[in-house]
A and B are shown apart, each in its own frame.
Chain A
């Protein structure tokens, strides 16, 4: 329980550094992937008639459900880029929901935002004190923070909310909504086009409709935070130093970087971002703080971050995947069932690509086999049990990790306690 957490991290560093997969896709690449995914979904929607697959409602829900996961993931990214594994994100989300609920019902949603983020940051500070100052095992500290966060919020909730009108020992009184933006003119137009069911055009319109109708301010801030993270961590001297602390802290220290200070900043920031995710849960996806509201999203955010190879773009894609399957679950069985066809088609395309471009018969054949299996599953059944949708994102994450972990490259010193003067 002392040193490494990811034993294979060290030997693969040299190899994977040279790999192209470590480079980001770039804006054009991201655009191409988005268009590709939308084409795929659109095609399946037209064939199967499962309109909810890309309806404006589904997409709006998907965006909303992605945000807390993405914010937890972004928090994890800050922390792990500085070399501190943060499994306490779940607890920091809980702190965020509680802060939002407590301040929100008394002084309005913006105060809720501020206090929720501050509470999350406090959780981060605690993690920093334990892992940076005291060099405690990071997973251990994270687990402890999750337990603590649950205890503190449950206790405070029963002290502060019980007896207040609309509140109770497990929930805060309701707060007013922050409001949202609907762009007049554009929103109804896009909704109209989206409702027509044209191939691809309607799907693009649905995306635009989701973005122009009842868009929460917090969603906009969240998108800004993802972009800003990329800019700060990869395009500034500050970010370079912060990442250097996560790759080779002792080397960074010899160059005059204040290792502990950077780790502190990163971990507190991590908590603040997770707190923001919690605020979003309490204020946008609900209007109260409720016990158990986070439902493991901190862990899912962590998975999204790993899925995204410790990069903001990939992390956002992972969060989007989780949000999308979550949203489909809410929209009914038909759309979920169509997901099988999506999987079949995606696997088919991938198989063809491997067979013809990579000329790898074994891998391509396996992919093809799975494509056929999914197609058969789709055709042979009328609907999926609701639990199947529930597990979809988790199974997907496992499969993606199983296929791609060899290409993932975590920060080299991730999870290793840093002690000045010791190796």
Chain B
């Protein structure tokens, strides 16, 4: 009997996300009605925007970036490591990779590979600081990565001044690193017909990262050790896992993927790191990793949903609805997803107890698990 795909299991697996989305729509509607706006119109505008090819390109591009960020966070999550520092890691990686890419001349594919390699290396090194502090000194990675985010902000501000890594852009107050020559650009893909823009070529690499994540965690010894350590550290130690080594390797991996977060933007459109390079993507990644339950497919859905809300929202302002309503949706969604999964988990525990009871010929739950509710 295949329990994993029984109708009830499927219904339960879908219950949590559906519950969370419905709950989010209810809360959002209440907020909208309370402030005198029309919820139906809001949802219509959002969906209507998403049918435009231009917006669809935007959604895919944003989702690519979000996906990488969420995977970086999820690698740590699976081992109970909270890499809150993805934000600092990708920004530092992006500026150094941009500067390195602008400084060298290489043939096209090598140039792109070089920039990506620098970014991954920098991301891994910056995350490595937190890893080393954790395994040698026992510093909680939550706090150290938060501190490292601030330090990265300071470091980037220091580096991004004329005379160091930056030069002024003519005719504006903006400053940026030296532009990467065309050999270091990643061509876009005309994925969506009729659209003016192209989808970032990096979307392919994001897909590869997703598959690699799935394979590494689900199909290798390393991934098994990693998940085991996340579930129960004492058990992992008992089965011979070197937890310290695992922490360092996991953090380095997480940081290396974090280094990729800025790449779609850098290689696909801006070709330089400037003051207006997108910030805060690391925190978006945390939220999306939570939405996607650390599952590569789930994260892809989460990233698309998030990107859809972000990209369609700008239109709301034209209709007299503050676009910040989307941020409320996102916040409620994250919170309700985690709560919904907990509720489903409790329901499942009770059901199992119930089933066991029935099979033993008694209608009462046999274990003490009934008290959970």
Contacts and interface: CB of A to CB of B under 8 A. Distances in A.
Interface string A132-146: 001111011101111
B193 interface: no
A5 B82 contact: yes
A394 B147 contact: yes
A5 B81 CA distance: 8
Contact of A145 (B138, B153, B327, B335): B335
Contact of B324 (A155, A398, A402): A155
Nearest to B156: A387
B169 interface: no
Given A5-B82, A401-B143, A406-B137, A148 B328 contact: yes
Nearest to A306: B143
Given A5-B142, A136-B338, A303-B143, A150 B331 contact: yes
B348 interface: no
A158 B322 contact: yes
Bin chain B's interface residue count. 35 or more
B146 interface: yes
Interface stretch (A101-109, A218-226, A415-423): A415-423
B150 A296 contact: yes
B250 interface: no
Contact of A1 (B142, B153, B230, B371): B230
Given A140-B290, A147-B330, A387-B157, A398 B283 contact: no
A152 interface: yes
A405 B139 contact: yes
Contacts of A4: 80, 233
Interface in B313-366: 322, 324-332, 334-335, 338-339, 342-343
A405 B137 contact: yes
Contacts of B294: 1
A402 to B, nearest CB: 5
Contacts of A387: 154-155, 157-158
B231 interface: yes
Interface string B171-211: 00000000000000000000000000000000000000000
A5 B158 contact: no
Contact of B328 (A155, A162, A169, A394): A155
15 contacts: A1-B77, A4-B233, A5-B82, A7-B243, A8-B138, A148-B328, A148-B331, A158-B322, A159-B35, A162-B322, A391-B151, A395-B147, A398-B133, A406-B138, A420-B371
Given A147-B283, A303-B146, A420-B371, A6 B140 contact: yes
B140 A421 contact: no
A419 B343 CA distance: 13
Contacts of A7: 80, 233, 243
B322 A402 contact: no
A155 B330 CA distance: 12
B233 A135 contact: no
Nearest to B237: A7
Contacts of B233: 4, 7
Interface of A: 1-8, 87, 126, 130, 134-137, 139-141, 143-152, 154-159, 162, 169, 296, 299, 302-303, 306, 385, 387-388, 390-391, 394-395, 397-398, 401-403, 405-406, 419-422
B144 interface: yes
B142 A87 contact: yes
B10 interface: no
Nearest to A151: B327
Most buried by A among B78, B324, B330: B324
Contacts of A162: 322
B59 interface: no
A5 B35 CA distance: 40
A2 B82 CA distance: 12
Given A143-B290, A306-B140, A421-B372, A390 B331 contact: no
A144 B287 contact: yes
Contacts of B372: 419-422
Contacts of B299: none
Contacts of B329: 151
Q: Is the interface of B mostly helix, strand, loop or mixed?
A: helix
A143 B155 CA distance: 25
Given A155-B322, A402-B139, A421-B371, A144 B82 contact: no
Given A87-B142, A139-B142, A143-B334, A385 B158 contact: yes
Nearest to B74: A1
Contacts of B31: 155
B286 interface: yes
B133 A402 contact: yes
Contacts of A156: 35
Contact of B338 (A141, A150, A151, A403): A141
B368 interface: yes
Contacts of B230: 1
Interface string B24-66: 0000000100010000000000000000000000000000000
B328 A143 contact: no
B82 A139 contact: yes
Contacts of A149: 331
A152 B148 CA distance: 28
A144 B338 contact: yes
A128 to B, nearest CB: 13
Nearest to A385: B158
Nearest to B339: A134
A65 B166 CA distance: 32
B334 A135 contact: no
A65 to B, nearest CB: 15
B68 to A, nearest CB: 18
Contacts of A398: 133, 139, 144, 147-148, 151
Interface in B277-313: 283, 286-287, 290, 294
B251 to A, nearest CB: 14
Nearest to B147: A394
Query: What 9 pairs between A and B have smallest CB-CB spacing?
Result: A148-B331, A151-B327, A391-B154, A158-B322, A155-B324, A154-B324, A387-B158, A144-B335, A144-B334
Interface string B1-41: 00000000000000000000000000000010001000000
A134 B369 CA distance: 16
A147 B334 contact: yes
B282 to A, nearest CB: 11
Contacts of B153: 390
A415 B334 CA distance: 19
Given A147-B287, A155-B328, A303-B147, 9 more contacts: A1-B80, A135-B342, A144-B335, A147-B330, A150-B327, A151-B330, A155-B35, A306-B143, A401-B137
Interface string B243-269: 100000000000000000000000000
Nearest to A291: B324
A157 B372 CA distance: 41
B342 A136 contact: yes
